[in-house]
Chain A
Amino acid sequence: MFKLGATILKDIRILWRDKVGLSLMLAMPIMLVIVVTNIQNSTFQLVDKNKLPILINRLDTGEASRQLITSINKIGMFKVLQIYGIQNEQSMSDAMHAKDAMLGLIIPANFSSKVAAKANNIAGKALKSFGLEGGTLKPAGDVDPLTLYYNPVLQESLRLSVAGAVRSALQLVESRETLRSLYFSINEKPMPENLENEMLNNQTAIKEIPVSKSGTRIAPNATQHNVPAWTIFAMFFVIMSLGGSVVKEKISGSFIRLKTLPTSYLVAILSKQITFLFVTMVQAVVIFSIGIWLFPLMGLPGLNLPSDLLALVVITIICGWCAVSYAICVGVFSETQEQVNGFGAVSIVILAAIGGLMVPSFAMQGFFRNAANFSPMHWCLEAYYTLFLEGGKLKDILNNIAPLIIITLLLQAATFWGLKRKNLI
């Protein structure tokens, strides 16, 4: 124990004096979590608070197109900017750029008359099927399509929801026209406005409730998503310092002396595990604290810790242990600091990507969806999301802890084999 204690003390002293290494392990992930959360929060706000600017080019002057614009306005997600008279795609594109609009919509000429004709035709068919009117139906041509332009930076999911919202507004306008036509055909007078509003606007409401295991109803936000994710990334980022430290020790003169002393190098490896596990815990505490106390001061949503703090501590320790094991394993197999830095940096970005830190795992397809199972970060993230977003308990993350421990033990076994193979133990 004395040897281990002395080795831990030595590692802490060296680490404390390595200001660059310390800043890499603490300052860089902190910057990352602040920047990414800010950016993602802006995206959340783009949809939730900042309305999407949409440029509507109205080539039709009729009632239906006016109602369509009113309906689009009522959806609440758009800031409508109207222009008139643009006839071609290039001019529309120029106007969108000039007005900084992410979306553009052209309502074609004769839109209102064609919608009205279509409504009359449908109403006529309906009456005929009821046997109320036997007159000849006027054929109605198809309504010319609306054209939706979008800035390519808009994610597909957002674009689809925009198209869905416009379609819903269009459906409202078409339904209104059909209803008016039907009413007029039966009663030979315009439909009373209050009846029209009651029929069209009395939609059944949809209640949106985030489903959590604990029953709490905290709406997910950029902080709840990003702080856990980038804490995991930070923990794995210790590879830059720890992997380098293993290689540095191997290639330095001190290692020759260590090999001649009556102590196994496993003591040095164990010391590094304990020291850097402590570092990962410090990282987690610092980043969580920033999420809880600093983010609200920066105008970001504050981090809500999970109700099961024991589970949070357990998964954080296991995640840190896995990150440290990975760093030591890479350090043992690397010959130079350049190798460990290069491989370390690239590999953790890849593990983060396939682990779902950058794109959610459920959105991945085929190979990458299966590959996620091999990334320790995936299991850490799943466990964190279960705790932070779903209000889960320790029992709910056991299925994430098990694979994480298996991966960690495999890394430890590989490290032991590497040390044996290189005659280091």
Chain B
Amino acid sequence: MVIKHLPAIDIQNMGFRYQGSSGVIFSNLNLKVAKGERFGLFGPNGAGKTTLISLMTGLLRADEGHIRLFGHDIGQKHVEVNHLFGFVPQDFSFYQELSPVENMEFFGAWSGLDKQKIRKRTDELLHILGLEEVRDKPVEKFSGGMKRRVNLAIGVIHEPEILFLDEPTVGVDVQTRHAIIDYLLALNKNGTTLIYTSHQLSEAEGLCQQVALMDDGKIIAHNSLNGLLEGYNEDNLEHLFLNLTGKDYRNDV
């Protein structure tokens, strides 16, 4: 159940380290994302973005502190809270042997939808994302851009309150990128909270209202996009990014 006055995401004093690793990834991390916000999470490779998203989606468990989605502790109420969010991972997260319709039938069922709802949402999404003509063809034969759209369609089939997007437009052409961004903006207009990570900073400028820059497991800046640019006296997100994280190579092993 969504309680409107609660933040979509509320992270309090969260600590995490990988099993067997001596280094701490996160220590005492705090973050709030309001309902209906378009939130961008940026940082160089190895900054901890994917790990943080994994923690917020329950793929990893925090060692300390709390992560709450609309007040539900992700660690305590995993199944209940899973209905609230959708996830579009960077990797293609579907069965390549199956068609878009077959994938959506399966993932729709696993998302808790009934047969009728799955059929309705499948028709809607395939129409919106321009996949109607290939609805019954195996996804393995699709181009990268088409696969990205399938990946997105599956992530939103159950109309989640919060949508996590890990580099949703990587490797796609301009047309597909615009189609995806337009669809995300439409979703947000209907109340879906977007949590977005990408290395496409120019794309992020058009999408995100709130921005957090991460480095080395810490949130080093967090504000509205305009607030950050004004605060650091930069004219775009890329310059701000380089200003705060430096120009050195980052090796993420």
Contacts and interface: CB of A to CB of B under 8 A. Distances in A.
Nearest to B106: A10
Contacts of B95: 10, 14, 254
B97 A260 contact: no
B16 interface: no
A3 B109 CA distance: 5
B59 interface: yes
A261 B107 contact: yes
A338 interface: no
Interface stretch (B2-10, B86-94, B167-175, B208-216): B86-94
Interface in B214-228: none
A17 B98 CA distance: 9
Contact of A260 (B82, B92, B109): B82
Contacts of A257: 87, 89, 93-94, 107, 154-155
B109 A6 contact: yes
Contacts of A74: none
Contacts of A5: 109
A2 B109 contact: yes
A3 B102 contact: no
B80 to A, nearest CB: 8
Nearest to B61: A423
Contacts of A135: none
Interface string A231-275: 000000000000000000000111111111111000100000000
Contact of B102 (A13, A18, A262, A263): A13
Nearest to A267: B110
A6 B110 contact: yes
Contacts of B79: 262
A9 interface: yes
Interface string B23-51: 00000000000000000000000000000
B82 A262 contact: yes
A385 B179 CA distance: 65
A7 interface: yes
Interface residues of A, number: 24
Nearest to B58: A260
A261 B111 contact: yes
B161 interface: no
B199 interface: no
B112 A9 contact: no
B71 interface: no
Interface string B87-128: 101011111011000100111111110110000000000000
A14 B95 CA distance: 8
Contacts of B58: 259-260
Interface in A98-141: none
A5 B112 CA distance: 13
The prevalent SS among residues of A at the interface is helix
B188 interface: no
A14 B98 contact: yes
A3 B91 contact: no
Given A10-B95, A13-B97, A258 B110 contact: yes
B6 to A, nearest CB: 20
Instruction: Output the residue of A7, A252, A253 with the most chain B CB within 10 A.
Output: A253
A10 B109 CA distance: 11
B19 to A, nearest CB: 10
Nearest to A257: B93
B154 A2 contact: no
B114 A2 contact: yes
Contact of B106 (A6, A255, A262): A6
Given A6-B106, A261-B111, A263-B110, A256 B59 contact: yes
B83 interface: yes
B115 A2 contact: yes
A256 B93 contact: yes
B57 A260 contact: yes
Contact of B82 (A7, A10, A261): A261
B108 to A, nearest CB: 8
B93 A253 contact: yes
B112 A262 contact: yes
B144 interface: no
A9 B93 contact: no
Nearest to B118: A6
A252 to B, nearest CB: 8
Given A253-B93, A254-B95, A259 B59 contact: yes
A252 B79 CA distance: 22
B59 A260 contact: yes
B59 A253 contact: no
A78 to B, nearest CB: 60
Given A17-B138, A253-B93, A262-B82, A9 B106 contact: yes
Interface of B: 57-59, 79-80, 82-83, 85, 87, 89, 91-95, 97-98, 102, 105-112, 114-115, 138, 154-155
Given A257-B87, A262-B112, 17 more contacts: A7-B109, A13-B98, A14-B97, A17-B97, A17-B138, A18-B97, A252-B91, A254-B93, A254-B94, A256-B59, A256-B87, A256-B91, A259-B59, A260-B58, A261-B107, A262-B110, A263-B111
Interface of A: 2-3, 5-7, 9-10, 13-14, 17-18, 252-263, 267
29 contacts: A2-B114, A3-B109, A5-B109, A6-B110, A7-B109, A7-B110, A10-B95, A10-B98, A10-B102, A13-B97, A18-B97, A252-B91, A253-B89, A253-B91, A254-B93, A254-B95, A256-B59, A256-B87, A257-B94, A257-B154, A260-B59, A260-B85, A261-B111, A262-B80, A262-B82, A262-B83, A262-B112, A263-B109, A263-B112
Q: Lowest 5 A-B CB distances belong to which pairs?
A: A253-B91, A6-B109, A262-B82, A257-B93, A253-B93
